[in-house]
Chains A and B, each alone.
Chain A
Amino acid sequence: MANNYLYTIMKKEILADAIYLMDVKAPRVAKSCYPGQFVIVKMDEKGERIPLTISDYDREAETVTIVFQAVGPSTKVMAEYEVGEAFRDFTGPLGCRSELIDEPREELADKKILFVAGGVGTAPVYPQVKWMKENGYDVDCIIGARNKDLIILEDRMKEVAKNVYISTDDGSYGFKGNVNDCIKDLIYNQGKQYDLVIAIGPLIMMKFVCILTKELGIRTVVSMNPVMVDGTGMCGACRLTVGTELKFACVDGPEFDGHLVNFDEAMKRQQLYKSEEGRVVLREKEGATHHHSGCGCSDNA
């Protein structure tokens, strides 16, 4: 993959089976990004534009950290890139930064915040928790996954969160149950109280966390990751319904009030290229080229 592309991979780590972390040299993005925002990566001339939420950044080293799961054809190719190789395009930061950053400090100090991270969604949660720690605020964090092998960034999260609770569906590590069971355990059995939940993970997880927190009366912020093309407001592919309004995840989000998001619609839209109708289109393409492609990003947070 010899090329003269600009955005060089400085570090690569395998966090779990098929989950990769990369530090990418991108001076402009590293200088101006904040937790909550995302980037778009285009590997080469013919690649897709893949949106990925920023997992960390180092302003001095001029690097931005991305974490992705190699599920689609594009992300599988991306997983083969090694340190020293480079991506053709790396655009950002896109979207709005976490609302925490712009909140008055005295209000933030009074707030009890629980982060709920599901699977690869742990990656975008990490920089928010880290920012809170660096600014002197303690927060709790649940990391949930199907099983122990899919828990990522546990050690790093422990360095920045006051309490980290692990929950696995099969009980192979930590609390046995899904993240909702874990939230209930914290509140009902351990006497915890929260004023704000920030939940990032698969749509289905965020949907059910929101149903629970609505019952509990806890405001909840979620991060949406729909199909997108340009990421700057141009295409409208990432549109979703929030309350009664049409929003674009790329410019109005990606974070929204989870109690207002229409998750059922978002889940249908996520299936655009996976539904029967969508697959027909792709089969025709694959037949021609042996090069399948959906939106490789759609399972990532």
Chain B
Amino acid sequence: MDVLKKIPVREQNPKVRATNFDEVCLGYNLEEAKEEASRCLKCRNPKCVDGCPVSIDIPGFIKEVEAGDVEAAFKVISQYSALPAVCGRVCPQESQCEARCIRGIKGEPVSIGKLERFTADWARENKIVPEMPKEKNGKKVAVIGSGPAGLTCAGDLAKLGYEVTIFEALHEPGGVLVYGIPEFRLPKNKVVKAEIDNVIALGVKIETNVVVGKSVTIDELMEEEGYLAVFVGSGAGLPKFMGIPGENANGVFSANEYLTRSNLMKAFDASYATPIVAGKKVAVVGGGNVAMDAARTALRLGAEVYIVYRRSEAELPARVEEVHHAMEEGIIFKLLTNPTEILVNENGWVSGMRCVEMELGEPDASGRRRPVVKDNSDFVLELDTVIMSLGTSPNPLISSTTEGLEINSHQCIVATENNGETSKAGVFAGGDVVTGAATVILAMGAGKAAARGIDQYLSSK
């Protein structure tokens, strides 16, 4: 064994997985996990923990894995995270915990994410569940949204004895974990549902089909239904479009719509009623994780798929692992390319997309080099489907129906970072609804901070 290298993780063959929706990564077995765990230096001042938005005692759980006591490892993680099987799969470890791993200074860092995933999967398979909190304190807290922020906040509050109800607008709990991230990256029944069941096991109630702001308002929850505090974790669900000609043609979808049809409504499974346009030649516009998810979904539905992104590979906002997987599976990257018009046939359906080539100029406000149009470079990409993956913004349904809730110019709720406090007494917020579209783990960190904030607020009342 080369201690400078990670123990490789088994994956489905790219050619095979490009035709199915089963999980790409197969994870470690116990032997592999123990071996990888032995690479950890058990630093006395562990930098990795500083890199984790929920501050998991990483050397602590890895030590238990190395000793072969996976149940103990799971108990360590459970003190910090309610969704370890999710995080082990979708966290950007390469820019968080693993980026700071001392092992990584010379060689590859410890595969912390894969070890977390192994631990959580092992616990689920061996039916280890988190311990039920001791006593209820009878204080009711409402959590709006059952995504990563809401589930984390609810779980932490339940552990402290609060009576928590989560209100979810859709018909399934999980938020972006069920409507956004595809099955092949995050299995819904096996992983997401199991972790939500663990949150329910802590005593959290989940009421689906409640659109807060429409079915009931925050003020009504507090004044009529007895909730003493409310956490808003409703995410950033509104899709953006480019505003170019032809964008309302049939065959143009937001990544949100495309992924919701496939993931939440399970349109990829023919026994479900919701339809999805598979497409023969599909372009996904954008370069983030959501764009990779949409592209790889279209590929699995049988299409030839392009990623069209206006900067170069180095600037792709998606995780390196996702880009790597997409390339392995045969997604064609049209980089330094920007659409200017969607061409439409006589039936109102997409027939192509006019694009221009770009080159990189000086860095812009985001620090990335600004793409500028090359002269006389326009060309037409023949297509039948276009998926716009340009980012999302928070839904105004809640902010517009709650008196005294301050929002910023991006429609994001203004909240204090360390405790989630908003401008309205008793109302806390965190996750994408505060930051704009970000990651699962940052939302979980915000949910955690807000749980502390709510506990302080209600304890001092």
Interface residues of A (CB under 8 A from B): 28-29, 31-32, 37, 42, 46-49, 73-74, 88-94, 229-230, 232-237, 239-241, 246, 251, 265, 268-269, 271-273, 275-278, 281-282, 284-285, 288-289, 291, 293-295
Contact = CB atoms under 8 A, between A and B. Distances in A.
Contact of A94 (B211, B248, B260): B211
A232 B167 CA distance: 14
Given A233-B237, A251-B397, A277-B250, 19 more contacts: A48-B265, A73-B273, A89-B208, A92-B211, A93-B214, A94-B211, A232-B395, A233-B238, A233-B395, A234-B395, A236-B254, A236-B257, A271-B250, A272-B250, A275-B250, A281-B276, A281-B278, A284-B278, A285-B270
Given A91-B171, A234-B237, A235-B257, A275 B275 contact: no
A246 to B, nearest CB: 7
Nearest to A268: B348
A237 B257 contact: yes
A47 B277 contact: no
B21 to A, nearest CB: 14
17 contacts: A28-B210, A28-B215, A32-B214, A42-B171, A48-B274, A90-B209, A232-B170, A232-B395, A233-B238, A235-B254, A239-B248, A265-B248, A269-B348, A275-B250, A275-B348, A281-B276, A294-B275
A235 B256 contact: yes
A92 B215 contact: yes
Contacts of B216: 28, 31-32
B205 to A, nearest CB: 14
A196 to B, nearest CB: 26
B169 interface: yes
Contacts of B237: 232-234
B210 A229 contact: no
B349 A275 contact: yes
Contact of A46 (B210, B250, B271): B271
Contacts of A32: 214-216
B395 to A, nearest CB: 5
B384 interface: yes
Contact of A93 (B215, B256, B278, B349): B215
A48 B243 CA distance: 29
Contacts of B227: none
B159 to A, nearest CB: 28
A90 B210 CA distance: 9
B347 interface: yes
B257 A229 contact: yes
Contacts of A31: 216
A278 B256 CA distance: 19
A272 B395 CA distance: 26
B238 A277 contact: no
A277 B248 contact: no
Interface string B244-283: 0000111101101100110001100011111111100000
Contacts of B271: 46, 289, 291
B130 interface: no
4 tightest Cβ-Cβ pairs between the two chains A and B: A268-B348, A235-B257, A236-B254, A288-B270
A6 B169 CA distance: 16
Contact of B253 (A73, A90, A237, A284): A237
A277 B347 CA distance: 9
Contacts of B274: 48-49, 229, 293
B238 A94 contact: no
B239 interface: yes
A281 B395 CA distance: 31
B274 to A, nearest CB: 5
B379 interface: no
A293 B251 CA distance: 17
Contacts of A73: 273
Contacts of A289: 270-271
A228 to B, nearest CB: 9
Contacts of A295: 275
Interface string B166-187: 0001110000000100000000
A73 to B, nearest CB: 7
A289 B266 CA distance: 14
Nearest to B395: A233
A230 B170 contact: yes
B265 A234 contact: no
Interface string B212-249: 00111000000000000000000001110101000011
B260 A48 contact: no
A241 to B, nearest CB: 6
A235 B215 CA distance: 20
A298 to B, nearest CB: 12
Contacts of A235: 239, 254, 256-257, 260
